[in-house]
Structure 1
Amino acid sequence: MQHTPLIAQHRAAGAKLVDFAGWEMPIHYTGVVDEYHTVRSRAGLFDVSHMGRIVVTGSGAEFFLQRMTTNDLAALQPMQAQYSMVCNEQGGIKDDIFVYRLAKDGEFLLCVNASNRAKIVSWLIEHSRGVPDCHISDRSEEIAQIALQGSAARAIVAALGLPQLDRLKLRGSTTVRVADEECLAARTGYTGEFGYEFYVYGQAGTVWNKLLHTGKSFGLKPAGLGARDLLRLEMGYLLYGNDIDERTTPLEAGAEWAVRFEKGEFVGKQALLIQRQGGLSRRFVGFELLEKAVPRHGFKILSTSSPQSPIGEVTSGNLSPLLQKGIGLGYVCPQYAELGTDLFIDIRGKAVPAKVVKPAFYKKSKG
């Protein structure tokens, strides 16, 4: 089992630790729903150091990454980030990632999913052969990652003496020092709340403790993966391994906005163009239950006609603590993907009525 640099902090806080993609990670401290409400109303602190951090440098770095990712790096100014995807030749999603341009020429940071780290590093190295002046370095063990998420995040960083962070626009970043440790601070996160992610180049425990100590008077608490999953589900954000994988394309997943066909060649482009021209055989949708129940990953989605035949499958689902209704994501045949379409979700043999809705389920300005 692998451990992040913050494992001692998690154990000292009494976290319930679970195996997540080979990492011993906190699923919760005081409880999933309590931590969820803490983030929605004040702020939560997440250890996301299990994620992979890959640095790509050199004069050939931008040319290389343009061919390896679906979004357009040319749109990024220095110290800006974008959501993107790495696809295989068939257009299947190898990973969904964040790409940070750290300098004008030749320095990028890629944040990849923990379960895909080794796969993506190997994929990049394999495809970089023959690209002049392009260097790939897996820095995951040298750089920790801490997410401060929630409306109180502004007040907390102000109390830390970091006024420059209040000026950051969404997906902007800058270098700061927290407890005298060097960090890249970015206006990114996966909760739908205002917040920051700190890429820590020094002692992660020192930064974690400083953030918690400073944020205590603002209601800051540590939060685990359980709350993070609820928060991202309410926003309709994709979870790799549940909602997307190598058998799923960005077009099927409703993420065509992260694919820039006009930028030039990239791995998977031709397959995606063929799929776009030929039409999709399934579409990604959000749905809400019309009766009190809890949808889960793998449950069948049924038509309302008789007989109630399977038309898709739930990929993510749970009970929204805020909305107090079952919500979920999944794939259905295209004719059932229109907003307002009535469905049934097969929940342990009972057909529970549901309706197709547009995520996000939770509506709040991200600042």
Structure 2
Amino acid sequence: MSDLKRTPLYEKFQENGAKTVDFGGWELPVKFSGIKDEHHAVRERAGLFDVSHMGEVSVTGDDAEAFLQYLVTNDIKQLAAGVAQYTAMCYEDGGTVDDLIIYKLDVNNYLLVINAANEAQDFEWIQSHAGGNVNIKNISNEVAQLAVQGPEAEAIVQSLTGVSLDDIGFFNFKNHVDLAGIQSLVSRTGYTGENGFEIYCAWDDAPRLWDAIQAAGESKGLALCGLGARDTLRFEAKLPLYGQELSKDISPVEAGIGFAVKVKNEDDFIGKAALKAQKENGAPRKLVGVEMIDKGIPRTHYAVFSDDQKIGEITTGTQSPTLNKNLGLALITRDYAEKGHEVEVDIRGKRKKAIIIGTPFYKRS
């Protein structure tokens, strides 16, 4: 895997016995101690993730707000400095270019956080639609990102700074926070269904920050976590993954993130007409939860049937570590999406009974 890109924390993976895999062209840890152990640590205590493979794009200039308002589906004008927003970029037909988070750092100064596997195509897409006084810069190689998630996350991170973190609300952030002597942006966004923080710092500062968080979390049962636990955690909370729940062929409305699509505003955006039609008339497909009745785990791309008719497929499926049930997310024809409807999942050539259930599968109290 020598040709894969590495984050500044690669040596920390090696020191802590991580098993690494190719993820979107990056050599990243799939696990440290074990996926289930790491998953339970985040639900019960805290976990530390390296998310430095994510892409970051700076958008500044007098026309930055107007440009982003046209580029993405959510309402950028709602943002105040210190607030972040989940949104999507779409094609004209409503298919998804990517889902992303936008941080408003200041007036006409925004940070876009995009998916690692889409970094090159996203940056090209953003540049190709730029107009007016806008400066766009890919700063992915300058910024590292760590995530601390779980019930003990706030106590752990708070111990590293004199700045109060308690007043950082959900999808809010503080910039220029001194964390263990390292200048950081601390946000409360999350991709696990738990409380916690995403922390951005300079690329070269990441190893020192990792060590500081690991040391501070030792007495709290902090676990080092890889992509495996990150996936099972976000799955239980029904947080979409691009390439599975979202794609160029799956719209945000179909994927259940219609809340990030504001079609009633007067402002136009790319894909607005198609997405407005889906919101007003109902999207042809809907993302639903599936619980297996028969034995078997529903995996990505497994076909879903109702009365011998294929109605869709599994986007993500696993045995839920928290609930100890075989669960899946399925994108199916909306006529069959009612809770309680029995379906069948084709698991290695055999039809297995399942039932449509509510989502998210897990929601913290």
- Answer yes or no: is the 8 Å Cα contact 1:293–1:319 preserved in 2: no
**Which residues in structure 2 correspond to 1:72-151 (within 5 Å)?**
72-103=75-106, 105-128=107-130, 131-151=131-151
Aligned to 1:183: 184
Tell me, in whole angstroms, the C-alpha distance in 1 between the residues paired with 2:209 and 2:270. 38
- Answer yes or no: is the 8 Å Cα contact 1:293–1:325 preserved in 2: no
Query: 239, 250, 253: which is aligned to 2:252?
Result: 250
Give the SS at the match of 1:166: coil
- Answer yes or no: is the 8 Å Cα contact 1:42–1:219 preserved in 2: yes
How far is the alpha carbon of 1:275 from its aligned partner?
Answer: 3.8
Tell me, in whole angstroms, the C-alpha distance in 2 between the residues paired with 1:227 and 1:325. 16
Tell me, in whole angstroms, the C-alpha distance in 2 between the residues paired with 1:140 and 1:283. 33
> Runs (4+) of structure 1 moved beyond 6 Å?
none
Aligned to 1:40: 43
Say if 2:69 is the partner of 1:66: yes
Aligned to 1:158: 158
Give the SS at the match of 2:353: strand
How far is the alpha carbon of 1:247 from its aligned partner?
Answer: 1.0
Unaligned stretches of 5+ in structure 1?
none
CA deviations over 1:200-239 (Å, ceiling 9, x no partner): 1251101011000111111111100000000000011111
How far is the alpha carbon of 1:141 from its aligned partner?
Answer: 0.5
- Answer yes or no: is the 8 Å Cα contact 2:299–2:316 preserved in 1: yes
CA deviations over 1:9-64 (Å, ceiling 9, x no partner): 11111100100000000000111111101111100000011110111011110000
Superposed CA RMSD: 1.3
Aligned to 1:239: 241
Give the SS at the match of 2:255: coil
Give the SS at the match of 2:164: helix
- Answer yes or no: is the 8 Å Cα contact 1:81–1:99 preserved in 2: yes
What TM-score, normalized by structure 2, do the two folds share? Answer: 0.95
Aligned to 2:214: 212
Write the letter of the residue equivalent to 1:17: T
Tell me, in whole angstroms, the C-alpha distance in 2 between the residues paired with 1:321 and 1:277. 37
Taking only the aligned residue pairs, the percentage that are identical comes to: 43
Tell me, in whole angstroms, the C-alpha distance in 1 between the residues paired with 2:309 and 2:162. 56
What TM-score, normalized by structure 1, do the two folds share? Answer: 0.95
CA deviations over 1:59-96 (Å, ceiling 9, x no partner): 11000000000000111111111110000121110000
- Answer yes or no: is the 8 Å Cα contact 2:290–2:354 preserved in 1: yes
Say if 2:300 is the partner of 1:297: yes
- Answer yes or no: is the 8 Å Cα contact 2:9–2:207 preserved in 1: yes
Question: Relative to structure 2, which stretch is displaced further, 324-333 or 351-360?
Answer: 351-360
Say if 2:200 is the partner of 1:199: yes
Query: 5, 19, 28: which is aligned to 2:22?
Result: 19
How far is the alpha carbon of 1:281 from its aligned partner?
Answer: 2.4
Count residues in correspondence. Answer: 359
Say if 2:29 is the partner of 1:30: no
Question: Relative to structure 2, which stretch is displaced further, 312-321 or 326-335?
Answer: 326-335
- Answer yes or no: is the 8 Å Cα contact 2:31–2:229 preserved in 1: yes
